[in-house]
Amino acid sequence: MDRVLVLNSDFTPLNVTSVCRGYTLVSRGKAEILKVGESPIITGMSSVVRPLIIRFLNYVKYRLRAVKLKRERIYKRDGWKCVYCENKKNLTIDHVIP
């Protein structure tokens, strides 16, 4: 299934959604189409354009979610090994054993 990039009114990316949801936002007048796909959406009665990139007409407020730093996430990021000596045993959060 194709996806649609959803932009805020100031052209900041919000998310990626389905073509059905993207077309619904456009048909309700909440968004405008910035880029159109090559193949149209064919329905029983007519064919309509397939949106690829849409932009909201009104600004949508949103909060950026801060990623919480946790021991597991840091270990996973580093591949469960020390960045300095590549040892996989006796790991600490800062990878330095005092």
- Name beta bridge partners: 54: 6, 33
Looking at residue 1, its pLDDT comes to 61
Task: Tell me whether strands 3-7 and 51-56 are parallel, antiparallel or unpaired.
Answer: parallel
Is the predicted pLDDT of residue 12 greater than 90, yes or no?
Answer: yes
Residues 21, 65: Cα–Cα separation, whole Å: 23
Rounded to two decimals, the pTM is 0.65
Condensed to tens digits (0 to 9), the pLDDT of residues 41-83 reads 888 888 889 999 999 999 999 888 888 888 888 888 888 888 7
